Structure 1
Amino acid sequence: MVRVQRLLPAMFAAGCLVASGMPLVAQAQSNPGFTFNWGDGPSGSQQLRYHLDYGTPGFLGDRYWLRLGNQKVAINRINISYPDYFDGTFNAQSIELRTGGSKSNSFFQFRRDPGKLIELAEVTLDRDNRTIDIVPAEVIPAGTEVQVIMSNVRNPRSSGMFYFNARIGSPGDVPLMRYIGTWIISIARP
């Protein structure tokens, strides 16, 4: 019994030394974090939520989860514009729309419910005008949580903040696009 009482403090000290020398695994850019606005940037109510799987410069194969939120009107088209200094690339075949999905805790992102897949009629990438146009096969009803998932994204070569603007089109006589908000996407070095 005396040997066990002497051995326990030594094992505890050795365990603390080993644990302090091990690097911790962190998930990069899982949340937008704190955002400070000044000038002509979007207000707090216009900022849309997003999640990046990696969010590091030049990373090939990143996935962007861009939430549009609950819209009060039906949606028949989604248009996303991105800035000219964003030199990353997108893959039109890897863009999908989903309804619902988890309202996951922003700290624990281990399990993510991607929601129900929406069939798409067309996805158009216009690299000259820096826009992504997404047309669902059927109109998305009003009051539906919608998110755009872009897989196989190549992040820009350098870190920075990038404003991605979202506009939606509603069915009706006049095909006007309505601005609904901005994702302020932050790409940072690990």
Structure 2
Amino acid sequence: MAVQTRIFPLALAVGCLATVAVPVVVYAQSNPGFTFNWGDGPSGKQQLRYYLEYGTPGFMNDRYWLRLGKQNVAINRINITYPDYFDGHFNAKSIELRTGGTSNNSLFSLRRDPGEVMPLAEATVDQDNRVIDIIPAEPIPAGKDVQVVISNVRNPQVGGMYYFNARIGSPGDIPLMRYIGTWILSIARN
């Protein structure tokens, strides 16, 4: 009888602890889990990593963390194009450029360590031509981890897959934009 009375409080404590330790469901989108690539689309090497705070259709005030990664050349301009069927909205005043913050390969390290904010000379959003243009105040040196953070995004009304293409410009005599990859954003369906 004494053994049963000692086991009961222990079982009750373990049961309560297990109830408290249940993980909370997170409403965030990250990289596409399983994708097919064919044709001239972006290969696995050209897919860029991203993180969406919510990633739900029509959600206002979402935040996109679009990682460019480390580049072999200095960057003095970033150009992002998105498809015409993306009916979401971006605010140019809510665009940041960050370096660092992605020291390990964990996707969620973007969220834990946001990195250092780089001053911008200009950030524009051309809704008609579907282009986001970002010019840092000073060129970003080669080899630095770079990510674009866009806050106050209004997601499209319909969920789906959206291809955002990234191009960078480097300081030099010829101002050519170089394609570096594509973010395949997946907005959850209702």
Tell me if the contact between 2:102 and 2:145 (Cα under 8 Å) persists in the aligned partners: no
After TM superposition, the score normalised by the length of structure 2 is: 0.86
Q: Which amino acid in 1 is paired with 2:51? A: H
Aligned residues: 187
Measured after TM superposition, the shift of residue 143 of structure 1 is 1.2
Match of 2:43 in 1: 43
What runs of 5+ residues in structure 1 fail to find an aligned partner? none
- For residues 101 and 169 of structure 1, do their structure 2 counterparts lie closer, same or farther at Cα, with a shift above 3 Å needed? same
* 1:2-13 equivalence runs, <5 A: 4=5, 7=8, 11=12
* 1:170-189 equivalence runs, <5 A: 170-189=170-189
C-alpha RMSD over aligned residues: 2.6
Q: Which amino acid in 2 is paired with 1:46? A: Q
State the Cα deviation string for residues 14-66 of structure 1 (Å, max 9, x = none): 869x95xx995233313332222123210111111111111111110111110
Q: Give the share of equivalent positions with the same residue, in percent.
A: 70
Tell me if the contact between 1:32 and 1:184 (Cα under 8 Å) persists in the aligned partners: yes
* 1:15-164 equivalence runs, <5 A: 19=19, 24-103=24-103, 106=106, 112-164=112-164
Measured after TM superposition, the shift of residue 174 of structure 1 is 1.1
State the Cα deviation string for residues 137-180 of structure 1 (Å, max 9, x = none): 11111111110000010110111000000001111111111101
- For 1:54, what is the secondary structure of its paired residue? coil
- For 2:93, what is the secondary structure of its paired residue? helix
What runs of 5+ residues in structure 2 fail to find an aligned partner? none
State the Cα deviation string for residues 113-159 of structure 1 (Å, max 9, x = none): 11111100001111111000000111111111110000010110111
d(CA) in 2 for partners of 1:157, 1:147: 26
d(CA) in 1 for partners of 2:23, 2:171: 52
State the Cα deviation string for residues 79-105 of structure 1 (Å, max 9, x = none): 000000000000101100011113456
- For residues 13 and 181 of structure 1, do their structure 2 counterparts lie closer, same or farther at Cα, with a shift above 3 Å needed? closer
